[in-house]
Structure 1
Amino acid sequence: MTKRFFAPTRREVLAGLAASAAGLAGGGATPPAAAWLTLQARPATLALRPGQPATPISELVTPTAAGDVRLKRGDRCETTFRNDLTAAVAPVWYGLDGATAAEPLPGRAAVAPGATETSIISMPHAGTLLADLRLFEEGLKLPVRPQPIIIEEADRVAVDRDEVLLIEEWRLRPDGTAIAPGRDPQDTAPLYTLNGRTSFELSAAANERLRLRFINGSQRTVLAIKLENHDVRVMAMDGQPAEPFPARNGALVLAPGARADAFVDTATSAPFLLHDGKEARQIGSLTISGKLERRAPLSPPQPLPSNDLPDQLDLKGALRFDLALGAPDAGWTRPASFSASSAPAFRAKAGRTVVLALKNFTPVTTAFHLHGHHFRLLDRLDDGWKPYWLDTLAIEPGQTQRIAFAATYPGRWLVESVATDWAAPRLVRWYAVE
C-alpha cells in the first residue's frame, strides 16, 4: 500500500499562493532544487560482542545511500518512507524546523507495517539532523538505530574533511540480546558504539582541519565525548550555527538526540573518551599517519554561514508559559495515547516571541525536545542568552531553565519530555502557532 502525504494548513496554503503570486509578478522565481530521499525501517543485526553472533536490532536507513545522507539547504525533498517492521512507526526529524509534513502525531498518523508513504519536505536550514523512530518505541520489540541526515551549506565550508560521529547506547542481556528503551533494564549491561562499532578508528593526517559532527543517538543518557590532546572548537549546536567557542576541557556534553559540530585541527593520535555520568571509557581513536603540508598556517575558523534565524528576540513583549516536565497531571501523555483533541500546552500567534519556564520536578535529569523551532537558552536573569541555538536540553532535578524562541512556523508541534532512565516512558504534549 502506498499513499502520498502532504497536508498543509489553510495558513500554509495562503502563504504558498502569496509566494507564487509574488514570483509571477517578478517575472518568475527559480523554484528550490528538487531532491529525493528514501528512508526504510527494517530488521537488522549489529556486531556488539567480539567473537559472538550479531545482535538482532532494527534500523532506520537510506538503502540507496553508499555513505552519509547529504542534501542541500533549500532542497524541496520528495521523501519516501517504507516501514518493514511489525509495528506502525514514522520518522521523527530532530533539527528540522517548520516542516508540518514531517511532524508525527498531531500532523500525521504512523505508517502501518508493510506500507509506504511519500511526503514533500523542505529543508530551510543547513545543519546536522537526525531521523529516528523514538516516538514509537513502545510498539517496538528491539532498539532502533537512527539515521543522521546532513543538510549542506550552499557554499563550501573551509575544512579538509567532514565526518559524522554517531554515538549509540545499548542495553544487553547476558545472552547478548538487546532491549528497547522504556523497558526495565534489570540484568542488562550498558554498551556504547561509535558509528556502529565498539572500537572506532578515525584515520587522518596531521595538520588536517576536521569538521566532526557529534550526535548523541542514545535514547536516555546524557553523554560527554572528548578527544584527548586537541582543541575542540564548537561551531554549531543542534544543527544551527553558533558563535564559535572552545569546548570546556575539550569535552562536549550532549543530551539524548542532541548534536554538536566541532572543528578540530589534528595534531597527534588520541583516544575518543566517553563519559555516561558513571564512568569514562574509550570508545574510539583518532589515528594520525603522515602530515598534510600547507602553504600557509591554519587561521582561526570563521563562523558557519547563518541560517537566518533572528538576531534578536523580544523578551519584554514575549508570551510566557510554565511547563512542568514529566508530571502526569500536567497534560503529558505517552505517544501511543496522544490525541490531537487534547488541550495544547500553549498557543502563540505567529511572529511572537515565546518564553518557556521548564521546571523539572522529577528526581532525575530530564531531556526536553522542542519540535518545529529552535530556541535560545536564557541567562538566569532573562537579560540575554547563550551564543547558540538548541532544540534539545537536559534539565537537572529540581532545576528550572528558561528558553525563548520566535514562533515562526504555523502549525501544531510536539514537545517531548523523557527522564534519563532507561525504563522511563517518553511523554509528549503539543503546542500551536496560529
Structure 2
Amino acid sequence: MITRRAVTAGLATTLIAVSRQGRAQGSDDPQQVLAARSTPMRLRPDTAATADLCTFNGSLSPVVRIKQGEELRLRLENGTSLPLSLHFHGVRGPNASDGVGGLTQDPVAAGGNHEYRFVPPDAGTFLIRPCVLGGSAEPTERGLSGLLVVEERSPPQVDQDIALLVDDWRLDDDGSLAAFEKPGSAAPAGRLGSWLSVNGAATPRRLEAPSGGRLRLRLANACNARAMRLRFDGMKAYVIAVDGQPTSTFEPLHASLPFAPGTRYDLLVDLAQDAGATGAVTALIGDGMPLVEIVTGGDRRPDLPAIAPLPANPKLPDAIRLQSATRKDVVIKGDPKIPGAPWTINGSEGRASGPPLVKVKRGTPVVLALTNQTAYAQPMHLHGHVFRLLHPLDDGWEPYWLDTAQVPENRTVRIAFVADNPGKWLLASTVLERFDAGLWAWIEVT
C-alpha cells in the first residue's frame, strides 16, 4: 500500500514546452504512426548476439505525446507476422478504441493497419501495449510497448519531463531472446525476464540536470511478471499522480514505492543544490539495481515554486455510494504446478462469447471483491475505468485512483468504481501468459 504524507501547497504552476515524439513523418500531419516490425537488435552491450525483437518505428519504448483536449489520431501499421491491436492501459476512452482484439475490435492482421481516433479525457501517463485475446504475450515480450503521455494544459514547472519505461527481457547467455514456451496443459506462471532495461537500453540510464533543479519523472512498469519496489536516493521525490490520475502530493514512505506490472507514477524530483551531486532511482532487486542515475551540474538554478497538486481530471466522482453498489465476488484460481488446473475467474476461463461477469446500467457504483486463491500475486487491470482501493472493513478507501491492483496470494482486495463508461470492458491479468491462457473476464456497462 502507498502511505501518503501531504506536503505544503504552493504557487500556481507555469507552462513548460515539451518536445513531441512519435509524430508521423511530416510534423504538420496530426496523425501519428506506430509501425510495428521485426527488428534484430543487440540488447545487452556485453554480448555479441542480437535478439529477434519487434519495434515501433524501429525503436523501443516510443513515447506518443498530445495535449489534454487534443484528439489522438494514431495509426497502427502491422509489419509483423503476428495479429495485433493496441490497448491504451489506463485511458478512460471510448470502448471502440480500447484495443482488445477479439472483443472491441478485430485484430489487425499481418500487413494491415488500423487507426485509433479519440480524445483522451484525462491528462496522465498511460501504457501502450498489444492486447489480443489469446495472443498478447509474445508481441509484448518481443518489445512492442510504449507510452502515451497526455500533457496537462498547464503542467508543473520543471527543468525536464522524462518518460521512463522499465521492462525486463528473458535472454539467453549470448544475449539472444530465449525461446517462448509452447501452450501446455498447466496454467502458465508468466515469463520472468533475466535482464532489466529502461527505455530499451541498459541500466542505469544517466540523466544530467541543473544544480537545485526539478525533474518530472514518468515511471511505468512494462514488465510482464516482475513486481518490485523502487527507492529514491539522494533526492526528494514527491508523487503527483498514480496510474495516470492526480493525487494529493505526498512523499513516498521510507523513500520507496511498490511497482507492480502495469503501474505508473508521475513524480516531481528536487535535486541537490551542489554541482556533482548524484541521485538514483533503484529497483530493490537483490542488493539493489540502479535504474536511473541523475548528476547535477552547472550553476545553481533559481528557486522554483513550491510543489502543488495537479488539477484533478474531469468526471471523477467525489464519492462512491457503496451502500448502493452492485457487488460481485471475483475468485481467481489456478496452479502452474498441476496439469489440468488452469487460470480461472469464478470457475471459467475468459470467453468473449460467454456471459459478462457483471452487467450494469451506466452510472451504477460497483464493488468487486478480488479473492486470490493461488500461490502467486495477481496484478489485475480494469479497462475503461479507474477505481478506489477499499479499506479492509469497507469503511473507506485509499486517497488515489488506480486502474491496476496487486492482489496478494491467498488474500482478498476490494475495489470500487462508478461504471460510467458504456461498453464491454476487460478485468484481466497483466501477466500476459496468464491473460492469454484465460485469466480474464469482462463487464458490460449499458
Q: In structure 2, what is the Cα distance between the partners aligned to 1:140 and 1:73?
A: 29
Question: Where does residue 24 of structure 1 map in the other structure?
Answer: none
2:320 to 298, 313, 318: 313
Question: Where does residue 102 of structure 1 map in the other structure?
Answer: 97
Question: Where does residue 53 of structure 1 map in the other structure?
Answer: 48
Question: Where does residue 372 of structure 2 map in the other structure?
Answer: 360
| Cα displacement (A) at 1:357 | 0.6
Q: In structure 2, what is the Cα distance between the partners aligned to 1:379 and 1:299?
A: 35
2:408 to 396, 418, 433: 396
CA shift in 2, pair 1:177/1:186, >3 Å:
farther
2:310 to 304, 310, 321: 304
CA shift in 2, pair 1:185/1:58, >3 Å:
farther
Q: In structure 1, what is the Cα distance between the partners aligned to 2:190 and 2:241?
A: 37
Q: Deviations over 1:40-81 (max 9, x none)?
A: 222124433224335324345357999742111122222211
Matched AA of 2:209: A
CA shift in 2, pair 1:141/1:333, >3 Å:
farther
Question: Where does residue 270 of structure 1 map in the other structure?
Answer: 279
Matched AA of 1:207: G
Matched AA of 1:367: P
Matched AA of 2:74: T
Matched AA of 1:176: G
**Does the 8 A contact of 1:79 with 1:121 survive in 2?**
no
CA shift in 2, pair 1:326/1:111, >3 Å:
farther
**Does the 8 A contact of 2:85 with 2:131 survive in 1?**
no
| Cα displacement (A) at 1:362 | 0.7
Question: Where does residue 7 of structure 1 map in the other structure?
Answer: none
Matched, 1:160 2:192: no
Which has the bigger relative contact order, CA under 8 A and spacing at least 6?
Answer: 2
Q: Is the strand fraction higher in 1 or 2?
A: 1
Q: In structure 2, what is the Cα distance between the partners aligned to 1:108 and 1:139?
A: 19
Matched AA of 1:237: V
Matched, 1:198 2:213: no
CA shift in 2, pair 1:383/1:153, >3 Å:
same
Q: In structure 1, what is the Cα distance between the partners aligned to 2:59 and 2:41?
A: 19
| Cα displacement (A) at 1:245 | 1.1
**Does the 8 A contact of 2:217 with 2:268 survive in 1?**
yes
In structure 1, stretches of 5+ residues that fail to align are 1-33
| Cα displacement (A) at 1:153 | 0.9
Is the deviation greater in 197-206 or in 47-56? 47-56
Q: In structure 2, what is the Cα distance between the partners aligned to 1:423 and 1:340?
A: 13
Q: Deviations over 1:150-208 (max 9, x none)?
A: 00112232222211111111111123222377678999971101122213101111211
1:330 to 341, 345, 349: 345
Matched, 1:85 2:80: yes
Question: Where does residue 126 of structure 2 map in the other structure?
Answer: 129
Matched AA of 2:136: E
Q: Residue 101 of structure 1: SS of its match in structure 2?
A: helix
**Does the 8 A contact of 2:242 with 2:400 survive in 1?**
yes
Is the deviation greater in 187-196 or in 377-386? 187-196
Q: Residue 401 of structure 2: SS of its match in structure 1?
A: strand
**Does the 8 A contact of 2:344 with 2:438 survive in 1?**
no
Identity of counterpart residues, as a percentage?
31
CA shift in 2, pair 1:149/1:187, >3 Å:
closer
CA shift in 2, pair 1:128/1:56, >3 Å:
same
Q: Residue 110 of structure 2: SS of its match in structure 1?
A: coil
In structure 2, stretches of 5+ residues that fail to align are 1-28, 183-187, 335-342
Using the size of structure 2 for normalisation, the TM-score is 0.81
Matched AA of 1:401: V
CA shift in 2, pair 1:430/1:223, >3 Å:
same
CA shift in 2, pair 1:138/1:201, >3 Å:
closer
Q: Residue 249 of structure 1: SS of its match in structure 2?
A: helix
Q: Deviations over 1:249-290 (max 9, x none)?
A: 2222111111000111011312331124x5522233111112
Matched AA of 1:273: T
Is the deviation greater in 226-235 or in 64-73? 64-73
**Does the 8 A contact of 1:255 with 1:367 survive in 2?**
yes
Matched, 1:233 2:238: yes
Query: What number of residue pairs does the alignment pair up?
Result: 395
| Cα displacement (A) at 1:35 | 4.2
Matched AA of 2:115: T
Matched AA of 2:202: T
**Does the 8 A contact of 2:241 with 2:247 survive in 1?**
yes
**Does the 8 A contact of 1:45 with 1:55 survive in 2?**
yes
| Cα displacement (A) at 1:421 | 8.9
**Does the 8 A contact of 1:182 with 1:423 survive in 2?**
no
**Does the 8 A contact of 2:40 with 2:50 survive in 1?**
yes
| Cα displacement (A) at 1:424 | 9.1
Q: In structure 2, what is the Cα distance between the partners aligned to 1:431 and 1:226?
A: 36
RMSD between superposed Cα atoms in Å: 3.0
**Does the 8 A contact of 1:182 with 1:426 survive in 2?**
no
